Structure 1
Amino acid sequence: MSVTGNARQTILIVDDTPDNIMLLSTLLKDRYHTKVANSGIAAVHILHTLGAVDLILLDVMMPELDGYETCRRLKADPDTAAIPVIFLTAKNRAEDEAQGRALGAVDFLSKPINPGVLFSRVAMHLTARNVLRVPD
């Protein structure tokens, strides 16, 4: 995804709770394009079939494929490894954050989400990604 001109960046929201998806989509829709997935399996599928995104907001506690395993798979794949992942979760122990960061996540935000913190962290990580990105 490009940030040249007025192109809006794309964020993939991954959460198994429809209310969380709706909240995040509503908060972000005026600033970013959003894609949604209701599971880790769906997120991996979306990224491999519909193309890359600029950032992923990823819930930890999901059935079948939890956020940690989803992140592990994405970071192991050269096509998705560079996409920043921010975990959004009700898990708030230091060990939870350490595990997420060890898997390659750039940030870890606790639910309930504070919109101001969400906006600033998303913007910060998108900016950092764009600064570090090698031109094609």
Structure 2
Amino acid sequence: MKQEILHKEIDLIQAVITRMANNSFLLKGWLISLVAVILALSKDTLLSDDVTYLSFILCLPVLVFWYLDAFFLHKEKCYRKLYDWVIENRKDSDEYLYSLNYTRFENEVEGIGKVMFSSTLLPFYGFTFLVLLAIGFHNVYF
């Protein structure tokens, strides 16, 4: 019976981890689609003043998606800590049984700001952000 409870509990936590990872994946797809479609629709004006403002405006969704991705990755890390805690402690205790409250582990993982500049998110979002800025500044100064 105790083993059955453990399996159900870790299945619940794993489902949340999977959902957070899926959200992160979807955000990246939406961002690339958004930027690609807008730049493709303005391909005839890529080196004109019209796209200058567009590229600067597109920086805002990049920042928003970047933050949201870091948010989901942060929560995923919290749930991984919860998962580890359940595996380690469930055999000895029924404390927090079936609790999906991750907040007690938030101090044990990196904050959202630090996750934003992690080695996984910075190259993806930073590169996109820099390309948009480069397009905008190129059109302003050249």
* TM-score between both structures, scaled by the size of structure 1: 0.26
Give the structure with the higher percent strand.
Answer: 1
Which structure features the higher share of helix residues? 2
Relative contact order, higher structure (CA 8 A, sep 6+): 2
Q: Which has the higher Rg, Structure 1 or Structure 2? A: 2
TM-score, normalising length: structure 2: 0.25
